[in-house]
Amino acid sequence: MSCEGNHETDCSDVLAEVWSFLDRECDVDRRVALQRHLDECSPCLEQYGLEEHLKLLLARKCGGDQAPDEFRERLRASIRQTVIQHRGVEIELTRATVERGEN
């Protein structure tokens, strides 16, 4: 999508990141750039508004369900174990890189 306007941030980039923007998952600088674009670009602001309404609708219709405490604790334990395993792999990869003189 393009509105043919001269923007610092391309319309397609803004629309690709609209959910990150809505969920406040982008860093401050990126959020400012996206907000600036939305303030200047009516077509993107309109699309953003549709996405925002969809997010609110989903939250209202699907947001009340919560996983049981036991399941959430098992999930946390699994994530911790995966992180620990990946750290070990990362350490081994780093050692191998240093030993080969690639660092």
**pLDDT tens-digit readout, 16-47:** 898 899 889 999 999 999 999 999 999 999 98
Predicted pLDDT at 38: 92
Count of C-beta atoms within a 10 Å radius of residue 16: 10
Shared domain for 23 and 71, answered yes or no, is: no
Shared domain for 71 and 98, answered yes or no, is: yes
Name the residue among 14, 10, 9 with its Cα closest to residue 45. 14
List the domain range (segments joined by +) for residue 25.
1-65
Shared domain for 19 and 59, answered yes or no, is: yes
Predicted pLDDT at 57: 86
Shared domain for 24 and 70, answered yes or no, is: no
State which amino acid sits at residue 34. Answer: L
State which amino acid sits at residue 96. Answer: A
Shared domain for 1 and 33, answered yes or no, is: yes
More confident residue, 20 or 5: 20
Question: Cβ-count burial of 68 within 10 angstroms (0-12 exposed, 13-18 middle, 19+ buried)?
Answer: exposed
Helix (H, G, I), strand (E, B) or coil at 46: helix
Shared domain for 56 and 7, answered yes or no, is: yes
Shared domain for 14 and 43, answered yes or no, is: yes
Asked whether the whole model's pTM tops 0.75, one would answer no
Number of domains the chain is built from: 2
The single-letter DSSP state of residue 4 is S
Determine the straight-line distance between the first and last CA of the chain, rounded to whole angstroms: 43
Shared domain for 46 and 89, answered yes or no, is: no
